[in-house]
Amino acid sequence: MAPAVVDNLLDHLLPTQSLHAAVIGAGSAGLVAARELRREGHSVVVYERGNQVGGIWAYAPETESDPMGCDPARTVVHSSLYSSLRTNLPRELMGFSDYPFVAGPARSGDPRRFPGHSEVLAYLKGFAREFEIEEMVRFDTEVVKVSLLDGNGNGNGNGNGNGNGLIQWRVKSRKKTDGICSGDEDDEVFDAVVVCTGHHTEPQIAEIPGIDAWPGKQIHSHNYRTPEPFKDQVVVLIGNGQSSADISREIAPVAKEVHVSIRAPAEGIVLGQRPGFGNTWLHPMIECAREDGAIVFADGTCAYADVILHCTGYKYYIPFLETNGIVSVDDNRVGPLYKHIFPPLLAPWLSFVGLPQKVIPFPLFELQSNWIAGVLSGRFTLPSKKEMMEEVENFYAELEAAGVPKRLTHTMTKTQFEYYDWLAEQCGIPGLEEWKKQLFFAGIESLVARPDTYRDE
Ligand code: FAD
């Protein structure tokens, strides 16, 4: 090969700049982000407030003091998994590109295609071991504040006056010993911060007219673990997602009655008594709750309930991030973000992995992380801040024109593969294999058509 060609190739392949990067969170997103950043030559510190890797997949039998998960003074339990939870994606779709999620001796002993949560945790622990990620992790260390270093963040990306266009961050963290916060805070300066804190911990609650006078109990699915507490109870579940489907099925054998209130019935779903379940009914939205214990649904039917179980999803929540208002969470939109990752005015020094919803998470996190690592090293270039901002504004305008509510900004499903392909192209690597895309859509079809049995087909 001619020397000039080799030079060009090396220019393309070799990273040019090694940075000191903080990754916040050691769930699946943080683990793969840490690996990609280190592979690219950056020095990496991973902050994890829990005592193990795995994030949401580290099942916690304990629940929070406030069953609704609203009290800001509560001790937060990160994981939202229930004891019986099995994946809703087949394991073939949950592996990272070079570390397939296969059953085997190093796992939990659950070879099923849609395994239980322990198998996923064992997989993530295996991944962390294989790529020696734990050595980068500071466990039991909660990030309490991420802020721009003095003089940074004036919006032009050249804030610290060091002449190289870098912004720097002060990351303040607090260490726990034996589960108790020591109060000792640590401060460290980083060139880049990658936020990987997940978005399935802060409950979203349904608003119900009259609820303050209603005498029953309320709980969010974040604090649901097992069906026993619902024995002989009349339970109203709100939501028609996967958690509501799983939990309503699981409590039906022990509860007296189960009423599921759903916003928009999927095609083929008929309201009324659920076939095959003598004590379960599907209803439209809740109209109001009454002082006499009744929950009234939009079609006039009602149930005298003991408990309302909110299976209403979660909110993005990034309380530690201080960017002088450059990035905010507004009606569940984290923004403005270029491609759900970089805030244009702080790019590439601040980024997010894992915001998109209704996707194939692990492979997507890997692609996002690969791109971030390469952008930080200078191997990939971003458009100008102005161009990124225009792109974000156009994207928001398109959502609005299509009638997509702001709160669904990061929800993908159908558009996700365009996004994968775009990221893969930026990284110069192959996108998600075609068979995986097909398997994803086939899986959704089976889930919708046969929600009670699709995992064991
Ligand atoms: P998390 O796994 O939540 O990890 C975030 C980490 O950040 C945690 O370890 C947390 O302790 C840490 N952290 C948070 N704040 C701080 C802080 N301030 N300082 C330090 N550390 C912090 N996905 C699938 O692929 N397949 C499935 O079948 C599937 N089923 C699901 C079922 C349920 C009920 C839920 C809720 C989610 C499911 N998911 C599933 C989605 C799942 O959330 C993602 O797969 C993925 O695990 C999210 O990873 P993450 O790293 O983004 O977040």
Residue 434 has pLDDT above 70, yes or no: yes
Tell me the helix, strand and coil percentages in the chain, rounded to 5.
30, 20, 45
Confidence tier at 161 by pLDDT (50, 70, 90): very low
Mean pLDDT score, 351-372: 97
Q: State the pLDDT at residue 11.
A: 44
Closest C-alpha among 83, 67, 111, 52 to residue 307: 67
Separation of 284 CA from ligand 1 center, angstroms? 30
Q: Ligand 1: does its nearest atom lie under 6 Å from the Cβ of 157?
A: no
Ligand 1 atom 28 nearest Cα: 87
State the virtual CA torsion across 326, 426, 197, 435 in degrees, nearest 10. 140
Q: State the pLDDT at residue 184.
A: 78
Q: State the pLDDT at residue 165.
A: 63
Q: Which atom of ligand 1 is found nearest the CA of 88? A: 28
Residue 371 has pLDDT above 70, yes or no: yes
Residue 318 has pLDDT above 60, yes or no: yes
Count of other CB atoms within 10 angstroms of residue 384 = 11
Residue 190 has pLDDT above 70, yes or no: yes
Confidence tier at 166 by pLDDT (50, 70, 90): confident
Separation of 222 CA from ligand 1 center, angstroms? 12
Q: What is the pLDDT of residues 396-410, one digit of tens each?
A: 999 999 999 999 999
Q: State the pLDDT at residue 451.
A: 84
Count of other CB atoms within 10 angstroms of residue 430 = 10
Q: Ligand 1: does its nearest atom lie under 6 Å from the Cβ of 87?
A: yes
Three-state secondary structure call for residue 129:
helix
Rounded mean pLDDT of the chain?
Answer: 91
Separation of 370 CA from ligand 1 center, angstroms? 19
Confidence tier at 89 by pLDDT (50, 70, 90): very high
Residue 424 has pLDDT above 50, yes or no: yes
Mean pLDDT score, 94-118: 95
Separation of 312 CA from ligand 1 center, angstroms? 17
Instruction: Kindly state the tokens that stand for 72.
Output: 């800001």
Ligand 1 atom 9 nearest Cα: 55
Residue 374: φ, ψ to 5°: -70, -35
Separation of 149 CA from ligand 1 center, angstroms? 29
Residue 153 has pLDDT above 70, yes or no: no
Q: Which atom of ligand 1 is found nearest the CA of 200? A: 36
Ligand 1 atom 37 nearest Cα: 200
State the virtual CA torsion across 290, 291, 293, 297 in degrees, nearest 10. 0
Residue 135 has pLDDT above 90, yes or no: yes
Q: Enumerate the H helices of 89-235 as residue ranges.
A: 117-130
Q: Ligand 1: does its nearest atom lie under 6 Å from the Cβ of 55?
A: yes
CB-CB contact of 247 with 237 (8 Å): yes
Count of other CB atoms within 10 angstroms of residue 300 = 8
With pLDDT > 90 as the criterion, what percentage of the chain qualifies? Answer: 82
Residue 426 has pLDDT above 80, yes or no: yes
Q: Which residue has the higher pLDDT, 363 or 182?
A: 363
Question: Mutate which of 57, 197, 355 to test ligand 1's pocket (most atoms within 8 Å of Cβ)?
Answer: 197
Q: What is the pLDDT of residues 245-295, one digit of tens each?
A: 999 999 999 999 999 999 876 666 788 988 888 899 999 999 999 999 999
Mean pLDDT score, 427-438: 94
Q: Scanning the structure block, which residue is given the tokens 């963290």?
A: 173
Confidence tier at 106 by pLDDT (50, 70, 90): confident
Q: Which atom of ligand 1 is found nearest the CA of 198? A: 53
The kind and range of the H/E element at 8 are helix 3-13
Q: Ligand 1: does its nearest atom lie under 6 Å from the Cβ of 427?
A: no
Q: Which residue has the higher pLDDT, 275 or 13?
A: 275
Q: Are strands 333-335 and 328-330 parallel, antiparallel or unpaired?
A: antiparallel
Instruction: Kindly state the tokens that stand for 273.
Output: 């008594």
Confidence tier at 320 by pLDDT (50, 70, 90): very high
Separation of 55 CA from ligand 1 center, angstroms? 5
Q: What's the CA gap between 226 and 423, in Å, rounded?
A: 39
Q: Which atom of ligand 1 is found nearest the CA of 47? A: 20
Q: What's the CA gap between 360 and 438, in Å, rounded?
A: 12
Q: Ligand 1: does its nearest atom lie under 6 Å from the Cβ of 173?
A: no
State the virtual CA torsion across 31, 330, 141, 106 in degrees, nearest 10. -30
Question: Mutate which of 23, 31, 56 to test ligand 1's pocket (most atoms within 8 Å of Cβ)?
Answer: 56
